[in-house]
Structure 1
Amino acid sequence: MKKTLEKLSPIIFELFEHLHQNPEVSWKEVNTTSFIANFLKSNGCEVRTFPDHTGVIGELGNGPLTVGVRADMDSLWQEVNGRFQANHSCGHDAHMTMVLGTLLLLKEMQLELPGRLKLIFQPAEEVGDGALKMIEKQVIDDIDFLYGVHLRPIQELTMGTASPGIIHGAAETVSAKIIGFDAHGARPDLGVNAIEVISAIVEQLKGIRLNPFDSFSVKMTQVSAGGDNTNVIPGSAQFHLDLRAQKNETMDRLVQKVDHILQQVASLFEVKIEFEHKEKVYAAVVNPKAQKIMAKAIAEVIGAENVMPAVITPGAEDFHFYTKERPHLKAAMLGLGCDLAPGLHHPYMSFNRDALLNGIEILTRTVLATFKQN
């Protein structure tokens, strides 16, 4: 398999370079969808696209068991070299390349699959609702095993190592508005200072107490209040909160605490606070059987000594909507060591591209082993 992969490596690195140089943000992955759809068709897949949104599905083979491999497609919008642009700093270009590389490797090996392989190229992971759209379109209803992949920063995994599971945490955003009237700086008694309301919220959030054995955090990440005139006390403001928890149950309790604080502060200051919860993603649920299959594949590719324990990270992934909404799924996500630095979402993130070949071989062996054991 390694020799076949080496033969394919020029095509694989060319694929990566194309995807890397043509990033598109969430729900606007139009050209990426077209490129991947054409590639899948030219390599023997049945292809499904969607009339109302981006994303593409490729299917290959027949049989009673269906194995899915999912890659996210979207990039971030961030400042790079002094200007804002779409930028693949989370590794989605690598993820797409590895799934396409898995298809190429299987095709080159001329294997007849004993089941159905479904390649899922999912939009809008960065905004947390791409997986929900795939679920809505019943993309995963017939899948038995589902695998994903994510590059890991050097602080978690180094080049030549990999993990058969990524334990992402749950995450949620609260978008809120304080609704009131401005007052003159000389007459603070005639209004409520929205900045003081925000300060009270921040102080109360610091006092949240949950089980100390359960990791969680909540912090204000965006604030907008006041205008150009510095002698006006702002009565209105907008703010966002970022909530994180390692367990879904902990997130549920954290949400209750945050909602209570917002309601009580509103009552204390006699001001209206409107808020809603957005961009909710669930914590990981890794299936032991899928994890075991992937761990064996990693050992075959890079050695048993380089199979690392499941990576526990406060980061979030909408991949875990699939197992939350479809509990029948046996799922695991490959954490791939690649000397990624300085970190995920850093505008100048880079990694050792040779790791792509490790990832492709691990995913391919995982798929084949999944078919064989059933």
Structure 2
Amino acid sequence: MESIVTVNQTDIYNDWNYLHEHGETAFKEVNTTKYLAKRLREMGAPFELFDNMTGMIVTLGSGSPMIGIRSDIDALKQTYNGKMGIFHSCGHDAHMSVVLALVQYFVNNPEELKGTLKVIFQPAEETVTGAEKVIKSEKLPHLDVLYGLHVTPESEVKAKEAQPMLEAAATRTLWLTIRGKAAHAGTPQLGANVIDAFTELNEKLRSIKLKTDLPYSVTTTMVHAGESSNIVPDYGTFAIDFRTRTNELMDILQQKIFDAIDNVQKREIKIAVDGNDLSPASIPSEKANSVMRNAIERVLGKEGVVPPKPNQGGDDFHFYAYDGLASESTMLGLGCNLKPGLHIPGMTFEKSSMIDGAKIMIEAVKSTQQEFN
């Protein structure tokens, strides 16, 4: 059955224009939250702000099933054309605009909402810390299903196409501090060189092998040590990014990484680990995927459905299922001819695709009761 959903295109474009020009970084989305609150009040949509952080939860309808919709709201601090700025280069401005349209639709058509709808405007996705803060706030009940969305590069999905699931990888970043012993560069044997320790550790990380055909990676992404050319450095910092296709593989890989760290610590070399920025891999849900696939078909036709493809990117959206707050979940991969890619300031996409995205998400919510009751 073809979709008969209609949304206010002018509102979507106006929302995007404002949000695009007023991006804010993780947990600093103060004006973004104020704008969202203003728009929700104009709609007559009830919402609750989070305590001591940005963002909010909108509640519409009643009864079961308990349906969640999540939109991330933060932007990225980046340099573009020689100037530092804050950019919505990951498309969160589009996500918010789509979800605001969804809220407006169900405010205007309450009879089409079967169950309770919880709409989460979540801060700090880019630092993979926002979702867990929302969960720990205890303002969100257990969800039968949670839907999210993400604009997708043209190289993966084109406009008038969409994926019913984005197969995100499990990702984690560790920040490490190495402490050694300083000495004159002419007598290095009297010191403990943190650069030597880093080199040894990096070689151990590069030699890690997992028994799997699935993709995984371990990458040193930052390193700094030493302030003088004639002193053996006794202090250094570096970061490691590692990714796996599944959460089970992540458990195995991170244990091998911690074993490598322990093996390098000897004599005066000590390594401290900071940061637990784990972002779980997507947890496939056939029920949620089926709902989203059917919603895509109603809006874009069968030819608009693109099968999910493995992706080494991560998203803290998957914490909701990983931590057990959502029984089922899926994230729509919205094609919009986005180029050259995500996290690139100045990236562009076809704004009309936000209309398709809003209709797909609305159709998914409308048909959820059939699958989850």
- TM-score, normalising length from structure 2? 0.95
Q: Which runs of 5+ in 2 are unaligned?
A: none
The RMSD of aligned alpha carbons is 1.6
Aligned partners of 1:143 and 1:203: how far apart in 2?
44
Deviations 1:115-159 (A, max 9, x none): 211111000111111110111122432422110001111121111
Question: What secondary structure does 1:166 align onto?
Answer: coil
| Corresponding residue of 1:309 | 307
**Is residue 2:59 matched to residue 1:59?**
yes
Q: Which residue of 1 aligns with 2:241?
A: 242
**1:157 partnered with 2:157:** yes
Name the CA distance, whole Å, in 1 between partners of 2:311 and 2:132: 22
- Cα offset, 1:359, TM superposition: 0.3
Distance 1:189 1:110, change over 3 A: closer
Q: Give the structure 1 partner of residue 82 of structure 2.
A: 82
1:131 aligns to what? 131
Matched residue type, 1:343: G
C-alpha separation in 2, matches of 1:104 and 1:49: 18
Shift of 1:86: 1.4
- Paired positions, count: 370
Query: Matched residues in 2 for 1:133 and 1:33: separation?
Result: 16
**Distance in 2 (alpha carbons) for counterparts of 1:202 and 1:214:** 22
The equivalent of 1:208 in structure 2 is 208
Cα shift at 1:3: 7.5
Runs (4 or more) in structure 1 with deviation over 4 Å come to none
Partner of 1:371: 369
**Separation in structure 2 between the aligned mates of residue 363 and residue 325 of structure 1, nearest angstrom:** 23
> CA deviation digits over 1:34-65, x for unaligned, max 9?
11122112212211002311111111122232
Identity of aligned residues (%): 37
Q: 1:371 to 1:42 in 2, by over 3 A?
A: farther
Name the SS for the 1:312 alignment partner: coil
Where does residue 12 of structure 1 map in the other structure?
12
Query: Once the 2 structures are TM-superposed, how far is the Cα of residue 253 of structure 1 from its aligned partner?
Result: 0.8
> 2:168, 2:110 → 1: CA distance?
36
Q: Deviations over 1:173-216 (max 9, x none)?
A: 11111112322121111112211211111111111010231221
Instruction: Name the counterpart of 1:167.
Output: 167
Matched, 1:199 2:199: yes
Q: Distance in 1 between matches of 2:268 and 2:5?
A: 71
Matched to 1:90, the amino acid is C
Change (3 A) 1:116 1:327: closer
Residue 332 of structure 2 is matched in structure 1 by 334
- Once the two structures are superposed, the pairs formed by residues 29-68 of structure 1 within 5 Å of their partners are 29-68=29-68
Aligned pairs (5 A) from 1:135-146:
135-146=135-146
Deviation digits for residues 271-294 of structure 1 (CA, Å, limit 9, x no counterpart): 111113421111111211111011
Question: Partners of 2:297 and 2:147 in 1: how far apart?
Answer: 17
Q: Which AA in structure 2 matches 1:48? A: E
Q: CA deviation at 1:232?
A: 1.7
Secondary structure of 1:4 counterpart: coil
- Shift in Å at residue 342 of structure 1? 1.1
Q: What is the CA–CA distance in structure 2 between the aligned matches of 1:113 and 1:35, rounded to whole Å?
A: 25
Distance 1:304 1:178, change over 3 A: same
Report the Cα distance in structure 1 between the residues aligned to 2:110 and 2:258, rounded to whole angstroms.
Answer: 56
Partner of 2:92: 92
Cα distance in 1 for partners of 2:78, 2:310 equals 26
Read off the aligned partner of 1:256 and give its amino acid letter: Q
Q: Counterpart of 2:343?
A: 345
| Pairwise CA distance, 1:257 | 0.7
CA contact (8 A) 2:61 2:110 kept: no
Superposition deviation, residue 270 in structure 1: 4.5
* 2-structure distance, mates of 1:155, 1:187: 54
Pairwise CA distance, 1:372: 4.3
Rounded Cα–Cα distance in structure 1 between residues aligned with 2:40 and 2:118: 11
Measured after TM superposition, the shift of residue 341 of structure 1 is 1.1
